[in-house]
Amino acid sequence: MAETNKQISLQGSRDQSFSTLEDSGWSEVPVVKELSDWEFATNYRDAMRPVLLRDGCAAWKACERWSPQYFEEIAGSVTVPVKTLNRSEIKVSSWRLADYARFVMEQPPEGYGASSNARADPYCHDIPLLGLVENLAEDCQPFPANFLDPSYRSHWWRYSQFFMGPAGTVTPLHFDTLLSHNLFFQIYGAKQFTILPPSQAKCCGRRGWRWFDVDPEQPDHVRFPQYEQATPAVVTVCAGDILYMPPGTLHHVRSLSTSISFNIDFHTDRSVLHALAHANNGMPTEVAYYNAITALAVIAKMPESVTFPLYRPYLSYVS
């Protein structure tokens, strides 16, 4: 039986700019202990409903091994882009992973609650580390590859994006730029997600293609009076948990402690067609291009040897 992390209504009229997928049926974010491939596909992925799989990856060696010290030791020479985010821009700098891991270890390990101000610490955010150090995938078994579209399953780690950072780092409210499904794996530490369905984007002060100016933790109802109509769900994702978010889900993410995680943005034929239909709706040209490449893999079934080299730059794309 599912337990509920937070039972709240996520009803609302659709934001026609990018939401035509079914999101009005969200009434809760269920927390489940077991999830078969069929149940995931039928009840969540195809139904466009979020779900938290408690301890879904807790048995992985990654949950025993991965830490800032571990990455300093096994991949310290790798150069990674590190981002400093604020509400107006993203600054990117290059770090040796060993240097960044030591920086993280020097920060307080926890103690920044949801009411704390966002920290502008450098954040190792959205990097294809598992594709650069492929033996890391061996720490992530058994991997639920069947949750993904078949075109991603053989080399799922190539499509992953890695996150490591200190407590208190925040990614402001946004949706994933490709309008893709998001399968998120928390390995070390904990994060707090505040999520809203695409239909409530109109309440959140949209800026550009995928960013929003509302701070769900401290909303300014004078500046954004419509946000009073929004019904955000707050989900704490702990080490060993898997979170699934449907395409277009708005999410604000805070690291509650030193944190290591990764996710996979993936499309199905339905979601990539939906994304392509919005290519002229403010979607950046580069994003439309990566969605077109994905459609060749997912719908046209072109071989990965052809499509992945074209898709690979997306994994380091800053938008």
pLDDT given at position 111:
56
Residue 255 in domain: yes
pLDDT class of 90 with cuts at 50, 70, 90: confident
Q: Is residue 248 part of a domain?
A: yes
Within a domain: 283: no
pLDDT in tens, 149-175: 999 999 999 999 999 999 999 999 999
Bond from prior residue into 142 cis (ω within 30 degrees of 0): yes
pLDDT score at 293: 98
Domain membership flag for residue 109: yes
Residue 280 within a domain? no
CATH number at residue 107: 2.60.120.650
**Model confidence at 113: pLDDT above 70:** no
**Residue 142 within a domain:** yes
Segment 211-231 mean pLDDT = 95
Read off the pLDDT of residues 222-272 as tens digits, 9 standing for 90 and up: 999 999 999 999 999 999 999 999 999 999 999 999 999 999 999 999 999
Rounded to the nearest 10 degrees, how much is the dihedral formed by the CA atoms of 173, 192, 75, 265? -50
Mean of the per-residue pLDDT values of the chain: 89
Q: How many domains does the chain have?
A: 1
Range name among 63-77, 83-97, 181-195 with the lowest pLDDT average: 83-97
Task: Assess if residue 293 is contained within a domain.
Answer: no
Q: Which residues of 36-57 are buried (b: 16+ CB within 10 A; e: fewer)?
A: eeeebeebbbeebbbbbbbebb
Range of the domain at 248: 3-267
Per-residue model confidence as pLDDT tens digits over 172-190: 999 999 999 999 999 999 9
Q: At residue 302, does pLDDT exceed 60?
A: yes
Q: How much of the chain, in percent, has pLDDT values that exceed 90?
A: 79
Question: Is residue 119, in this structure, part of any structural domain at all?
Answer: yes
Chain segment 14-29, per-residue pLDDT in tens: 344 444 444 444 557 8
Q: What is the pLDDT of residue 89?
A: 73
